[in-house]
A and B are shown apart, each in its own frame.
Chain A
Amino acid sequence: MKDVKISIKNLNLYYGTKQALKNISLNIPSKQVTAFIGPSGCGKSTFLRTLNRMNDLIDSVNITGEVLIDGIDIYDKSLDVVNLRKRVGMVFQKSNLFPKSVFENLVFGLRLNGIRDKNILLETAETTCKQAAIWDEVKDRLNEPALSLSGGQQQRLCIARALAVKPEILLMDEPASALDPISTAKIEELIHDLKTKYTIVIVTHNMQQAARVSDLTAFFYIGELIEYDKTTKIFTNPSFKQTEDYVTGRFG
């Protein structure tokens, strides 16, 4: 495997007494797209959210094990969660733009860091929008409410907003599940372009999507990591029966 960006060792996660993730270990390579697939409730989204500690926001969650990003344990007591989330951006299932203007959404992360210089803000807004392939659609609408954009545009704006913080890793939780096929295609194309610069981890329900966009695929089932391999191998010649049943659509 190429350079490892994220390394997970013996990760267990409990909601109260219920164990949602069971002893998961895997390495996520740098500047590749890694897809998590599996039936609903298998823990893939929960697992994704352990990578930027979004589960911290839920009181009843307990986590054991290690998540190393560039060799540093992100669950270390001395680590600043706020900094971590700046390095590990996230795009959610449904677009969650703030009820502010397009521009204010884009620069939200920069403003958090106290950047006020209008030129820097505008520049960042433009470059990230271009990266997210949405600049042409929003360049004349920067001051309009973000919620007036179409669903697909909103989701790409969410991606641009996440990129504006200049993360190294981008976590995507079913980013296209609420979109139509054309918008979905645009997002997938975007993922393909972005992986030259970012390490991308994507959770998806859509098997074809995983096959199309990812380099590696991990299959989860009821809190366990069943199989993790190159995407081509998972979809053409999986080692486990469960994986084969799932990717061929026999259950799930």
Chain B
Amino acid sequence: MELTKKKRDVSGFLLISSTRILFFFLILILLVLIGKIFIEGIGIISLEFIFDEPKNNMTEGGIGPAIFGTIAVTVVMVLFAVPLGVFAAIYLSEYAKDSFFYRIIRTSINNLAGIPSIVFGLFGLGFFILFIGKNLDEVLETGLLFGQPALLWASSTLAVLVLPIVIISTLEALNSVPKSHRDASYGLGASKWQTIKSVVLPQARPGILTGTILAISRGVGETAPILFLGCAFFLPSLPVADLCIWGYCIPMINPTEQFMYLAYHIFILATQSSNPTKSLPLQYGATLVLIALTILLNITAILFRYKFRKSLGRN
């Protein structure tokens, strides 16, 4: 009796301590990675670096246009991916009946998340640019406007890429709303849509928001899907155009232009530089900015979630 107990303790001890070692090892890798980037990158970070354009064949200057491009692409991506994903999830969770067709859709969504991102890039080129864009040009007689790589198509492709993330996290959020709350709503004479709108969605909002932010983090870090979709090595101007309504003009993202992208910019600095020694600090700086951007987004998500949870009265 005593022997078996001791034996179990030994294996338990081994399990716990090996887990602990692995855990510290993981933390160590993360710390070294981020630490190295931070130490090498922090020196170059300045207002000029963040807002300036690259100069002298990318051996000097900043990464302003790349940051702007990243934000612009992400904003348009969110505009596509979130409404589509949320409504798809609402349909799947509240309206669709469990059928063969339904199960195929569910499986496809899960598998979509596992497709290599370069495939999405090729899909974007083939479907969005060559099929939709070219046909749009023909129908609208715009010449060559949509049928070429542009911000719009990069955002669309990234939207398709992150759609599973939005759908899956929204589905989880919708399923976590207690059935008793739906019952209460129906019992008070609410229709199905009223129940979804005023009971289910408000409670699912933190989950939807989390999905959105996860999608953004994913999209910001992707390079492969947008390689052929309009992201450029260097551009003299930002993808901006004035939008004029009734004589009032505001500068807006121009979705038909090409753009620079932070993740792609790092790739270019690392592989295509004319003077690697001089561009190395820029590369560290750009990487640090990308990481900081992602962390910032995640923090925003957490704050939003906290605020919503608080307003729902459960902490």
- 22 examples of A-B residue contacts, CB within 8 angstroms: A54-B183, A54-B186, A57-B182, A82-B191, A85-B186, A85-B187, A86-B189, A89-B187, A92-B183, A96-B180, A98-B184, A98-B199, A99-B312, A99-B314, A112-B198, A148-B313, A158-B184, A161-B184, A161-B188, A162-B187, A162-B188, A165-B189
Partner of A112, one of B181, B182, B190, B202: B190
Other CB < 8 Å A-B pairs besides A89-B187, A161-B184, 5 of them? A90-B183, A92-B184, A96-B178, A147-B313, A148-B313
A141 at the interface (CB under 8 A from B): no
Question: Given A98-B199, A99-B203, A147-B313, A92 and B187 touching (CB < 8 A)?
Answer: yes
A151 at the interface (CB under 8 A from B): no
Per the bound structure, the CA–CA distance linking A99 and B310 in Å amounts to 10
Per the bound structure, the CA–CA distance linking A99 and B312 in Å amounts to 5
- Point out the residues of chain A lying under 8 angstroms from B180, CB to CB: 92, 94, 96
In terms of DSSP, what is the predominant structure of the interface of chain A?
helix
Chain B: number of interface residues, binned into ranges: 20 to 34
- Point out the residues of chain A lying under 8 angstroms from B55, CB to CB: none
- Point out the residues of chain B lying under 8 angstroms from A139, CB to CB: none
CB distance from A230 to the nearest CB of B (A): 29
Per the bound structure, the CA–CA distance linking A146 and B180 in Å amounts to 15
Of B180, B184, B190, most A-chain CB atoms within 10 Å: B184
CB distance from B95 to the nearest CB of A (A): 12
Contact string against A for B residues 160-193, beta-carbon threshold 8 Å, 1 for contact and 0 otherwise: 0000000000000000001011111111111100
Q: Which chain B residues numbered 185 to 235 have a C-beta less than 8 Å away from chain A?
A: 185-191, 194, 198-199, 202-203
Q: Which chain A residues numbered 32 to 46 have a C-beta less than 8 Å away from chain B?
A: none
Per the bound structure, the CA–CA distance linking A111 and B199 in Å amounts to 12
- Point out the residues of chain B lying under 8 angstroms from A83, CB to CB: 189
B20 at the interface (CB under 8 A from A): no
B97 at the interface (CB under 8 A from A): yes
Per the bound structure, the CA–CA distance linking A140 and B188 in Å amounts to 25
CB distance from A126 to the nearest CB of B (A): 18
**4 residue pairs, one from A and one from B, having the closest CB atoms:** A145-B313, A86-B189, A96-B180, A90-B187
Q: Are B178 and A82 in contact, with the CB atoms below 8 A?
A: no
Per the bound structure, the CA–CA distance linking A92 and B185 in Å amounts to 11
Query: Who on chain B is nearest to A104 by CB?
Result: B198
Per the bound structure, the CA–CA distance linking A97 and B314 in Å amounts to 13
Q: Are A112 and B313 in contact, with the CB atoms below 8 A?
A: no
- Point out the residues of chain A lying under 8 angstroms from B189, CB to CB: 82-83, 85-86, 109, 112, 165
Q: Are B190 and A96 in contact, with the CB atoms below 8 A?
A: no
- Point out the residues of chain A lying under 8 angstroms from B187, CB to CB: 52, 54, 85, 89-90, 92, 162
Per the bound structure, the CA–CA distance linking A242 and B300 in Å amounts to 64
A59 at the interface (CB under 8 A from B): yes
Per the bound structure, the CA–CA distance linking A112 and B97 in Å amounts to 26
Per the bound structure, the CA–CA distance linking A100 and B184 in Å amounts to 13
Q: Count contacts on A: residues with CB < 8 A to the other chain.
A: 29
A135 at the interface (CB under 8 A from B): no
CB distance from A91 to the nearest CB of B (A): 8
A108 at the interface (CB under 8 A from B): yes
Partner of A109, one of B182, B188, B199, B203: B188
- Point out the residues of chain B lying under 8 angstroms from A85, CB to CB: 186-189
Per the bound structure, the CA–CA distance linking A59 and B190 in Å amounts to 19
Contact string against B for A residues 93-120, beta-carbon threshold 8 Å, 1 for contact and 0 otherwise: 0101111100000001101100000000
CB distance from A115 to the nearest CB of B (A): 13
Contact string against A for B residues 59-80, beta-carbon threshold 8 Å, 1 for contact and 0 otherwise: 0000000000000000000000
Query: Who on chain B is nearest to A52 by CB?
Result: B187
Q: Are B314 and A147 in contact, with the CB atoms below 8 A?
A: yes
- Point out the residues of chain A lying under 8 angstroms from B191, CB to CB: 82
Q: Are A96 and B181 in contact, with the CB atoms below 8 A?
A: yes
Q: Are A96 and B184 in contact, with the CB atoms below 8 A?
A: yes
Per the bound structure, the CA–CA distance linking A147 and B190 in Å amounts to 21
Q: Are B97 and A59 in contact, with the CB atoms below 8 A?
A: yes
- Point out the residues of chain B lying under 8 angstroms from A109, CB to CB: 188-190
Per the bound structure, the CA–CA distance linking A86 and B180 in Å amounts to 18
Contact string against B for A residues 58-96, beta-carbon threshold 8 Å, 1 for contact and 0 otherwise: 010000000000000000000000110110011010101
Q: Are B188 and A108 in contact, with the CB atoms below 8 A?
A: yes
Q: Are A57 and B188 in contact, with the CB atoms below 8 A?
A: no
Of B97, B183, B313, most A-chain CB atoms within 10 Å: B313
- Point out the residues of chain B lying under 8 angstroms from A111, CB to CB: 198
- Point out the residues of chain A lying under 8 angstroms from B186, CB to CB: 54, 57, 85
Contact string against A for B residues 5-21, beta-carbon threshold 8 Å, 1 for contact and 0 otherwise: 00000000000000000
Q: Which chain B residues numbered 279 to 315 have a C-beta less than 8 Å away from chain A?
A: 312-314
Partner of A99, one of B97, B190, B194, B313: B313
CB distance from B193 to the nearest CB of A (A): 11
- Point out the residues of chain B lying under 8 angstroms from A147, CB to CB: 313-314
- Point out the residues of chain A lying under 8 angstroms from B190, CB to CB: 82, 109, 112
